[in-house]
Structure 1
Amino acid sequence: MAFDFKKEYKEFYLPSKKPQIVTVGPMSFIAVRGEGDPSVEDGAYKQAVGMLYAVAYTVKMSKKGDHRIEGYFDFVVPPLEGFWQQPGVEGFDCARKQDFQWISVIRMPDFVTDVDLDWAKGEVARKKGVDCSKVELVTIDEGECVQAMHVGPYDDEPATVALMDAYLAENGYENDFSDTRRHHEIYLSDPRRVAPEKCKTVIRHPVRRA
């Protein structure tokens, strides 16, 4: 049976709607960095997402080809995630989407190396004609965070963030945003197939003791 990160690490992917503190250790991701409004049709963000999925599935399906990855085990491709930042804004501002600086990521098993990533990018270019040169392998260690499940449209996220901020104030914490610690979203629903009011998104913010 394929390893499923969502099922094995439910504390990170299936939190309650009620905010909670969680410590997130180092994780390996394939990533594409960019900026601008993510809703622009065929814009940089949507192109980045296409690259990530193409590479992720190429790594997963390497088991059927000649390329052998040391330590490989079959896995369910994890959900898309995003780290978001805007100049001069703590957290994020939905009204200023054009100012977003983002890192779009998909988690990878630890057995994936830069060599394997280069192979996968070459396969995508050869088979699909897609340039994935912007895809990189990164390790992100989030540390102590507050998180909650948001159910509803992305533009309604401020209501869930307000609950998270109130929880922090009540429990002696505060947000700890920086260039390396950003507003983080994990997309558990495909917005092309799920109604906006039913979309599930994990929201995670870096924190520290007040």
Structure 2
Amino acid sequence: MPEKMDFKKTDKLFYMPGLKPSVVEVPEMVFIEVAGTGDPNTSAAYKNAMEILYGLSYGIKMSKMDGSQPEGYFEYVVPPLEGLWRMADGGTVDYSRKAEFEWISMIRQPSFVTGAVFEQAKEKLHRKKPELALSGARLTRRREGLCVQVMHRGPYDDEPATLQRLMQFMTENGFVPDYSDERRHHEIYLGDPRKTVLEKLRTVLRLPVRKI
């Protein structure tokens, strides 16, 4: 049986950076996204976003079970959850003000996921869970471009120390932050805090930059 395609293995450069900061050029990728605001630990909107993202992503993956798989379908592992973050006032991420977060939560999709495939998945999920507000879900293509990134190990609340190292690396190598509506503080969650000891959690931290 052929091995399932796993982005974490085929695109290790983007999903498995080292513990030392590095520079990366991120190409265009396809995502299903849901945007919202508030503290992800307490926000009902964030909880709903998770249901929508995983419902749609696994619906597309399991479409083979009812014979509705799209053209070009292949076996794959659903990629990890990712998040783009900023503050409501437009500032950089401040972990002491989580209630003021603006976030875009997203899960990468294989290249065969087109607009038609996405709409079909929404229709199926609506029939299964009509209480979910799917109007906020969208299929997008993102090209992050030039970034710096590093692997953070440990609890999410310990990320500021790792980010400080990443910012120092940025400065020492002649880069400055390059934030915009599309280019934000980016995190990729490689572990499930419900199932993983916090000290062993792995999170990719990525920041958009430009050369001075």
Per the TM superposition, whether the score is higher than 0.5 is yes
> Structure 2 CA distance, aligned partners of 1:170 and 1:68?
48
- In structure 2, the partner of 1:115 is 116
> Structure 1 CA distance, aligned partners of 2:72 and 2:104?
27
> Structure 2 CA distance, aligned partners of 1:196 and 1:108?
27
Name the Cα RMSD after superposition.
1.3
- In structure 2, the partner of 1:36 is 38
| CA-to-aligned-CA distance 1:137-169 (integer Å, 9 cap, x gap) | 011110000000001111111101110111111
> Structure 2 CA distance, aligned partners of 1:205 and 1:76?
26
- In structure 2, the partner of 1:170 is 172
- Percent identity over paired residues: 50
Amino acid at match of 2:189: Y
Shift of 1:5: 0.4
> Structure 2 CA distance, aligned partners of 1:47 and 1:65?
26
Name structure 2 gaps, 5 residues minimum.
none
SS of match in other structure, 2:148: strand
Name structure 1 gaps, 5 residues minimum.
none
> Structure 1 CA distance, aligned partners of 2:89 and 2:26?
26
Of the structure 1 ranges 25-34 and 66-75, higher mean CA displacement relative to structure 2 is found in: 66-75
Shift of 1:174: 1.2
Structure 1 segment 152-171 matched on structure 2, within 5 A: 152-171=154-173
> Structure 2 CA distance, aligned partners of 1:100 and 1:33?
11
Instruction: Say whether the 8 Å CA contact 2:83–2:106 is kept in structure 1.
Output: yes
> Structure 2 CA distance, aligned partners of 1:165 and 1:98?
24
SS of match in other structure, 1:133: helix
Of the structure 1 ranges 110-119 and 120-129, higher mean CA displacement relative to structure 2 is found in: 120-129
SS of match in other structure, 2:135: coil
Instruction: Say whether the 8 Å CA contact 1:124–1:130 is kept in structure 2.
Output: no
Instruction: Say whether the 8 Å CA contact 2:72–2:112 is kept in structure 1.
Output: yes
Amino acid at match of 1:95: S
> Structure 1 CA distance, aligned partners of 2:160 and 2:92?
10
Shift of 1:122: 1.2
> Structure 1 CA distance, aligned partners of 2:63 and 2:13?
29
TM-score by length of 2: 0.94
Shift of 1:90: 4.0
- In structure 2, the partner of 1:139 is 141
